[in-house]
Amino acid sequence: MSDKTTRHDILGGLILGDVEIRNAILKFAMLLSWATLVAQLAVADTEDRSPTRIHALIADLGNDEFIVRERAEMQLLRIGLDAFAELKQATTNNDIEVAQRAKRLLSQFEMIYRGKEDESVRDMVDLYTREPNIAQKTLYLWVLADPTVYPNGEALRTLCRIARFDAEPTLRIETAKCLIASPPIALSKRKDWFRTLRAVFNERDDDELLRLVGDYAALYNDLDVFREEAEKKAETHEKETGTPVKYPVPFTVPEELRNRVQAFTDRLAAFQSTPENSNVQPGHRYDILLFHALAELQDAVGLVNERDRTLEAALAVRTEKMRSENPLLLTDPLDESSFSEHFHAAVYLERRHRFLRAERHLQLIIAEAPPAIKARAYEYLWFVKQMLARYREAIDLHQRCLELFETKEFRSRLNDADADAKLKDIQAAKDFCVAKVAADAGNWKEAKEAIDRSLQNNATECDAVILRYEISKQLGDPDENERQHVKRLVNGVLQRTEQIFQQRNSDMIVATISNQAAWLLANTGGDFPAALSLIRIAVRAEPESPMYLDTLAHVYALGNDYKKAVEVQKEAVRLAPEAVPLQLALTRFRANVFNEAPSR
């Protein structure tokens, strides 16, 4: 009789089989530290990981000898994810012993992933784990993937674990999409994100879903190497010749890399067109952003036609909004249609400083969406137009926005006081654009009239006050009343900023307010040490924010340190090459360094 049938211990009729013995072993094993387990797994580098060896070990999981079964399980644990595919297949083995041990090994692999997860995501992970409804789990998943909620990639390990181990295929697909489409905003964090994905999803027997994630990360990393090399050469050339670097720096890629991007495009299309690979809610913002992620690769390697088709596919996405039964996940009462997904995608693209792409989604909303969504789009599109320095277009935009807010349909959503305040803000923004266009044309008196109208409706708008200060300088030596008027405007904004600063609601708000105060001081001849102290608060909070770096450069210019201003502004432009005001500021700073006439 074999060991498998005779090994037992009878105590009052209780038979201790493999499960009971294993549980006793696991209770003891729980006392071991994670460091010990990781040290054991590190030995995997010396293991034979060949398919033949793995198949033999899985067969040994059902061996008649207990010690052989245990040894095989430990060796498979040490081999790790190289055995993942075979073990997953073994969970349906006809031999119950093999199936149970395979499931146990997969659970232990998942535990190792859990041990590496960030503490800050544990509460959301618990909600996801306990939720039985797939649609509701998807909503929790989207929160985990949101780079505005976890800006430093805190949920990356969790998302990797779900993509690999979750038993529900639709959730694995949704997670894979999030991993590709929504990396952190900050460039260095984004690089770390894709390096990790390449390392995690690089197993020999990963399925096509995981290979797509790993291969996208590999393509992103490889293109990043070429991009960095091109930037270094351009910066060296600038130092040697004085020829300014123009961002983004163009670079060429080998045909082999272009072919890999084309192959990835075809594979992703094939995967998405397979019915069993459909996701829980087709047409969500991550579907839109997935197209943009693909378009970035295509654009980088010169696949222009493919890129244009991909961007058109992003604009063509439509869906009905998924409702959540959890009030914590209802982010906005205006999320009533599929266009809200385009709005959220546009916000993400704007935060990635992809203003031209964000503009297209916002224009789509304004053309086709209901009024509630359209109003939000107007507000964001105004900022995008400002970053693209398209002030004439913004004047027409604000006029249409005024007409929308004056309709009975929209005013019924607001009380009279809120509606009137909104109209004053829009009119102020419109008049600011009128003043900006006039100032750029050198029509300073017209610009003064327009900016004064703007400030009558909103006296705390920082950029309007700065423009008023500049207009006053351009009109010549102002009289005392004019100087006092401008001084009151500047102090009014600073006092309002100080009030918000004192509330110290969050680090993000403190950084935003510090940046605003420093920006105002830098552009109105303010106190240099105070401006430098304020902007350093913001830059410490977000060292890769091009807007904060832009302010820092202006502060250095305030202190007449134009070399530092150029150095910092170059980094701001590198991070946000589509932002026209940043490019113009860099030109002005360079003009001061090289004693050239500054251009507006």
pLDDT in tens, 541-551: 999 999 999 99
Do 475 and 435 fall into the same domain?
yes
> Does the reported pTM lie above 0.85?
no
Same domain? 529 vs 454: no
Indicate whether 100 and 173 sit together in one domain: no
Checking phi first, is residue 353 left (phi over 0); if not, alpha (psi -120 to 50) or beta? Answer: left
Higher pLDDT, 178 or 75: 178
* Neighbour-count burial of 235, counting CB atoms closer than 10 A to its CB (0-12 exposed, 13-18 middle, 19+ buried): middle
pLDDT category at 320 given cuts 50, 70, 90 is low
79 or 184, greater pLDDT: 184
Per DSSP, the three-state class of 71 is helix
**Percent of the chain residues past pLDDT 70, beyond the cut:** 82
- Given a contact cutoff of 8 angstroms between Cβ atoms, the answer to whether 267 and 212 are in contact is yes
Ranked by mean pLDDT, the top range of 118-132, 324-338, 579-593 is: 579-593
Q: Give the residue from 419, 447, 481 where a domain finishes.
A: 481
Q: How far apart are CA 32 and CA 6, in angstroms?
A: 30
Collapse the DSSP code of 11 into the 3-class scheme (helix H, G, I; strand E, B; otherwise coil) and give the result: strand
Surface-to-core class of residue 498, CB atoms within 10 Å of its CB (0-12 exposed, 13-18 middle, 19+ buried): exposed
Does pLDDT of 598 surpass 50?
A: no
Output the pLDDT for position 203: 73
Q: pLDDT per residue over 336-378, tens digit each?
A: 566 888 988 999 999 999 999 999 999 999 888 877 678 788 8
**502 three-state secondary structure:** helix
> Number of structural domains, the chain?
4
Residue 324 has pLDDT above 80, yes or no: no
Query: Are 477 and 544 found together in one domain?
Result: no
User: Quick check: 497 pLDDT over 70?
Assistant: yes
Residues 427 and 300 in one domain: no
More confident site: 515 or 594: 515
The number of C-alpha atoms within 13 Å of 231 and in the hemisphere containing its C-beta is 14
As a whole number, mean pLDDT of residues 112-137 equals: 83
Structure confidence at residue 279 (pLDDT): 62
| Residue 369: per-residue pLDDT | 80
| From 303-307, 402-406, 477-481, the region with the lowest mean pLDDT | 477-481
Among residues 150, 291, 153, 301, which one has the least CA distance to residue 220? 301
Pick the residue with more confidence: 569 or 69?
Answer: 569
Residue 439's pLDDT is what?
95
pLDDT at 281: 64
Tell me how far apart the alpha carbons of residues 464 and 431 are, in angstroms, rounded to a whole number: 9
Residues 137 and 19 in one domain: no
Query: Mean pLDDT over all residues of the chain?
Result: 82
pLDDT confidence of residue 71: 86
Co-location of 39 and 127 in the same domain? no
> Of 11-20, 134-143, 377-386, 589-598, which gets the smallest average pLDDT?
11-20
Is 451 a residue whose pLDDT tops 90?
yes
Which range, 68-77, 319-328, 402-411, 513-522, is most confident?
A: 513-522
* pLDDT given at position 363: 93
Residue 293 predicted with pLDDT over 90: yes
User: For 535-551, b where at least 16 C-beta lie within 10 A, e where not — what string?
Assistant: bebbbebbebbbbbbbb
Same-domain pairing of 110 and 136 = no
Using pLDDT thresholds of 50, 70 and 90, give the confidence band for residue 10: very low
As a whole number, mean pLDDT of residues 130-143 equals 90
Judge whether 353 lies within some domain.
no
Q: Which of residues 115, 150, 169 is at a domain's end?
A: 115
Q: Note the pLDDT of residue 19.
A: 46
Beta-bridge partners for 14: 11
Same domain, 101 and 132: no
| Range 324-329 average pLDDT | 43
Range of the domain at 9: 3-115
Q: Which of 30, 5, 28 is CA-nearest to residue 18?
A: 5
- Specify whether 34 is located in the same domain as 155: no
Residue 9 pLDDT exceeds 50: no
Which residues does 489 contact at the CB level (< 8 Å), separation at least 6?
455, 459, 465, 468, 469
Tell me if 187 is assigned to some domain. Answer: yes
Note whether residue 358 is domain-resident.
Answer: no
Tell me which of 77-86, 268-277, 339-348 is least confident.
Answer: 77-86
Within-domain flag for 326: no
pLDDT of 374-402, one tens digit each?
878 888 899 999 999 999 999 999 999 88
> How many Cα atoms within 13 Å fall on the side-chain side of residue 555?
27
Domain assignment of residue 535, yes or no: yes
- Say what the pLDDT of residue 2 is: 40
Q: Are 204 and 164 found together in one domain?
A: yes
35 pLDDT tier (thresholds 50, 70, 90): very low
Question: Does any domain span residue 495?
Answer: no
Q: Pick the residue with more confidence: 45 or 305?
A: 305
Specify the pLDDT at position 321: 55
CATH code for position 599: 1.25.40.10
Residue 373 belongs to some domain of the structure? no
Between 267 and 504, residue with greater pLDDT: 267
What is the pLDDT at residue 483? 77
Task: Please write the tens of the pLDDT for every residue from 209-242.
Answer: 999 999 999 999 999 999 999 999 999 998 888 8
Q: Is 182 helix (H, G, I), strand (E, B) or coil?
A: coil
Listed range (29-33, 159-163, 366-370, 507-511) with the worst mean pLDDT: 29-33
Verify that 204 and 284 share a domain, yes or no. Answer: yes
